[in-house]
Amino acid sequence: MTPPKPEPRAEKVSLFTHLRLFRRDILSAQPARLYRAWMAEFRTPFFESYLCNDPSLVRLVLDERPADFPKSDRVTEGLAPLLGRSVFVTNGAEWQHQRRIIDPAFEGGRLREAFPAIWAASEAAVARMGAGEQEVELAASHAAADVIFRTLFSIPIEDRVAQAVFHEFRAYQRSAPILNLAAFLPLPRWMPRLHRRTTRRSASVIRGLIAGLTADRARAIAAGTAPEDLATKIMTTPDPVTGQGFTTDEMVDQVAIFFLAGHETSASALSWALYLLATHPDAQERVAAEAAGLRPEFGTLGSLRYTRDVFREALRLYPPVPMMVRETVQAETFRGRAVRKGAQVVISPWHLHRHERIWDRPDEFDPDRWAGEGRETAREGYLPFSRGPRVCPGAGFAMLEGTLMLAHLVRAFRFDAVEGRVPVPTAHLTVRAKDGIWLRVARRDGA
């Protein structure tokens, strides 16, 4: 069965219709030709936008001259009430300083240290899941939030503050759908920016809770009683260039983005991976066979190759971050077209991952492609974690988490599709199913 893909819009529509479609969902607002084109231009009286699928343009923007294609304030301001000056929204020297402090916390060796916490969260996810027909995105969100709390602050999701943050994040997401529109069709600068009142309220509750956790941790570090986790590592690492670390306030901004970037994305990928396995029972049995040999030690990942390829393939078909937006700071020439200063540049993992001139059978679920031609093709057309200096710092962490969670869940349960409930992908903060992902869950014999 070919995994679901949103119905593209008609090739020619009016600007008004396009705006209306964008507001509803950026994926179905695009015409089918974007799965074949190397570049698409979109011009209105207010702005110019270029969606770039040409691998050499993607390289230019993300790897070769990223400083010339920063994130624009117009795009990130929608997130400001929640994220403040976090690494996700900053540019230039401020951003470099932040990455120099954050990156060491996610290096290879640290992943090994995070393994026991991710293992414990996977076991907890299995224990929480019951049999029967259910919506699995919620369970995946719960599990991914648990991973973040355990690895960052050494507390499980059952903790009172962790629960409160988790619930407020859900409220935040429900009240922030406007983000799509603001991000991809920047309004003229003179238009007032209205953050919904509920969004602002949720953002301030979340930040208050995180501020409490961060202040407690600062005290524990000072007293020499802090656990060795990601928060301690980040709060005690000075920038090797300037010698400055994060203040407690700055740390609140960074923690907010770890929660947002780290839990929503992982939850989205895990839910789609479960759906793909439910609709491809042979693949599911292969994962179950691999997972039978799970051991609570880092080396166990070496025996989960197929499971990892399933997760990779889920990230290809349903990249949690479907599009990334940058801005030109000077005039450029893209594929012979003059691009003016201040134009928008959209890099779309969604289209690249299903590009008909890059991938063989682009819409089919085939984890085995990763043992063959997939790796080569990925150089041109696979960037679920972005690329270049602004690559997701949590990429290795997320691959470890996704593989381990999937193996745990499939070892314990069998997942089947529910008739009549085919999920329709749609872009919220991440790629989600319009009415959730419903699966029938049954405990495996002997689990």
- Smallest separation, CB 185 to ligand HEM (Å): 17
Q: Which stretch binds ligand HEM (CB under 6 A): 26-34, 286-294, 378-386, 437-445?
A: 378-386
Smallest CA-to-CA distance from 323 within 271, 386, 379 is with 386
The helix or strand, by DSSP H or E, that contains position 395, with its residue range, turns out to be: helix 395-412
**Minimum CB–partner distance for residue 90 and ligand HEM (Å):** 8
Counting contacts by CB under 6 A, is residue 344 touching ligand HEM?
A: no
What is the tally of helices (H) and strands (E) in the chain? 18, 11
Report the site for ligand HEM in 84-103 (rule: CB under 6 A): 87-88, 99
- Distance, in Å, from the CA atom of 81 to the CA atom of 267, rounded to the nearest integer, reads 23
CB environment 333-371: b (16+ within 10 A), e (fewer): ebeeeebeeebbbbbbbbbbbbbeebbeebeebbbebbe
Helical (H) or strand (E) element with 241: none
Which residues are paired to 324 by β-bridges?
Answer: 347
Q: Give the contacts of 319 (CB within 8 A, at least 6 positions apart).
A: 349, 350, 353, 383, 384, 431
State the minimum distance, in angstroms, from the CB of residue 443 to ligand HEM: 27
Q: Which of residues 248-307 bind ligand HEM (CB under 6 A)?
A: 257-258, 261-262, 265-266, 269
Is 222 strand, coil or helix?
A: helix
If one asks whether residue 165 binds ligand HEM (CB under 6 A), the answer comes out as no
Name the closest residue to ligand HEM (Cβ): 394
Residue 363 backbone dihedrals phi, psi, to 5 degrees:
-95, 0
DSSP-derived 3-state class of residue 263: helix
Assess 390 for contact with ligand HEM (CB under 6 A).
Answer: yes
> Minimal distance in Å, beta carbon 145 to ligand HEM?
11
Cβ within 8 Å of residue 289, ≥6 positions away:
none
What mask of x and - would describe binding to ligand HEM in positions 184 to 223, judged by CB under 6 A?
----------------------------------------
Q: Which stretch binds ligand HEM (CB under 6 A): 166-174, 274-282, 390-398, 409-417?
A: 390-398
Amino acid letter, residue 210: I
Nearer to ligand HEM, 66 or 436 (CB): 66
Our finding on whether 384 is near ligand HEM (CB under 6 A) is: yes
Shortest Å distance, C-beta 244 to ligand HEM = 18
Task: Rule CB under 6 A: say whether 367 interacts with ligand HEM.
Answer: no
Among 362, 381, 394, 423, binds ligand HEM (CB under 6 A): 394
Residues that bind ligand HEM (CB under 6 A): 87-88, 99, 257-258, 261-262, 265-266, 269, 320-321, 324, 384-386, 390, 392-394, 397-398
